[in-house]
């Protein structure tokens, strides 16, 4: 893991995932330590972000590291036509590690092939979001006491939701059963379902959310990803497919938790926020500890 890029969650095996999660637990107890004081980290966000960018920045600041970068490609020389390759080769000279979010699937892998420093994929198009996946695993383990043998519902935009793709792939390592709730147009891609089949695990597809809630240990809600639709009319048709309300979780299991990578649009009603079963804001907080663990592991600190 030391000096290696993290592009896709399956770059790590089970043992390596546990190494990050265990280290994140230590950072949760003691998040402020000057471990990165000699390091410069580049944060290149070609696409908007609140949680990923700010929790990386918070993690770097808590570890006394320095940050360079941009939050909008329009303020960089990309605006003048510079290629991703040239941008990454240049920023490799200015930093010890690059955190990158980009709207094109596969861009992070491409960047890792031309960079001379490790790349952390902070989300590439509709493909993968491995650092979100790590904090999702951390949150599931923390709330359920285990990652093994869980029934998980994934709800919403399973086609374009990169956080779903990464988490489904990761949970195939832990004998999960998958309950996939989406409009017909937004089903989980076959390439991701193949991971489930290869591990001989079960998945069930639904269009109705209500019937799933009593069966599962956690429900991973997602927003419909408006920015990925080629046809705005198609987005309009599906945008309000699911809204989770407080009364819908009354009959859920005692250990049930509502997760969401956020941002939320309207798929979780605000009356759920005060339920002890709502975990999405704590989930976002866990991003700091997990990203501290990841940065220090990759930099070999």
49 touches ligand CP (CB under 6 A): yes
Residue 239 is among the residues annotated as catalytic for this protein: no
Structure tokens at 252: 């859920």
Catalytic residue among 53, 62, 102, 129: 129
Closest to ligand CP by CB, 129 or 177: 129
50 touches ligand CP (CB under 6 A): yes
Calpha distance 78→72 (Å, rounded): 10
Closest to ligand CP by CB, 102 or 129: 129
Residue 274 is among the residues annotated as catalytic for this protein: no
Out of 1, 4, 31, 51, name the contact with ligand CP by CB under 6 A. Answer: 51
CB of 44 to ligand CP, least distance (A): 14
**Helix 14-29 to helix 280-299 angle, to the nearest 10 degrees?**
110
Say if residues 121 and 7 touch (Cβ distance below 8 Å): yes
> Of the candidates 150, 159, 139, which has an alpha carbon nearest to the alpha carbon of residue 179?
150
Q: What is the edge-to-edge ordering of all strands in the sheet holding 40-45?
A: 66-70, 40-45, 97-102, 119-124
HSE at residue 114, side-chain half, CA atoms within 13 A, is 13
Closest to ligand CP by CB, 244 or 262: 262
Q: Which residues contact 202 (CB under 8 A, 6 or more apart)?
A: 177, 178, 196
262 touches ligand CP (CB under 6 A): yes
Among the residue ranges 79-87, 259-267, 272-280, 293-301, the one whose residues contact ligand CP (CB under 6 A): 259-267
Out of 5, 8, 43, 52, name the contact with ligand CP by CB under 6 A. Answer: 52
263 touches ligand CP (CB under 6 A): yes
Q: Which of residues 87-146 bind ligand CP (CB under 6 A)?
A: 123, 129, 132
Residue 109 is among the residues annotated as catalytic for this protein: no
Give the burial class of 254: count Cβ atoms within 10 A of its Cβ; 0-12 exposed, 13-18 middle, 19 or more buried. Answer: exposed
Residue 194 is among the residues annotated as catalytic for this protein: no
Residue 141 is among the residues annotated as catalytic for this protein: no
Active site residues: 51-52, 80, 101, 129
> Which residues bind to ligand CP, rule: CB under 6 A?
49-52, 123, 129, 132, 261-263
């Amino acid at each position: 893991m030391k000096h290696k890029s993290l592009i896709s969650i399956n770059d790590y095996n089970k043992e390596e995932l546990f190494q990050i999660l265990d280290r994140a637990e230590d950072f949760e107890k003691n998040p402020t330590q000057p471990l990165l004081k000699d390091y410069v980290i580049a944060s290149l966000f070609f696409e908007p972000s609140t949680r990923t960018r700010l929790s990386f920045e918070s993690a770097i600041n808590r570890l006394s590291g320095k940050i360079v970068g941009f939050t909008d490609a329009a303020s960089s020389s990309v605006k003048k036509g510079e290629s991703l390759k040239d941008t990454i080769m240049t920023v490799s000279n200015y930093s010890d590690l690059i955190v990158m979010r980009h709207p094109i699937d596969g861009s992070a892998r491409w960047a890792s092939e031309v960079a001379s420093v490790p790349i952390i994929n902070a989300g590439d198009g509709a493909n993968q979001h491995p650092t979100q996946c790590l904090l999702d695993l951390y949150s599931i383990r923390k709330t359920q006491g285990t990652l093994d043998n869980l029934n998980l519902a994934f709800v919403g935009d399973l086609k374009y939701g990169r956080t779903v793709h990464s988490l489904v792939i990761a949970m195939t390592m832990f004998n999960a059963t998958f309950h996939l709730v989406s409009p017909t147009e937004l089903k989980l891609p076959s390439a991701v379902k193949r991971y489930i089949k290869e591990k001989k695990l079960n998945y069930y597809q639904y269009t109705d959310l209500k019937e799933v809630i009593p069966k599962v240990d956690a429900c991973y809600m997602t927003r419909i990803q408006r920015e990925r639709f080629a046809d705005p009319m198609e987005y309009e048709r599906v945008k309000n497919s699911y809204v989770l309300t407080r009364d819908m979780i009354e009959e859920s299991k005692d250990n049930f938790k509502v997760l969401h990578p956020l941002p939320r649009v309207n798929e979780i009603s605000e009356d759920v926020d005060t339920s002890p079963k709502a975990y999405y804001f704590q989930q976002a907080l866990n991003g700091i500890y997990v990203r501290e663990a990841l940065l220090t592991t990759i930099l070999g600190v």
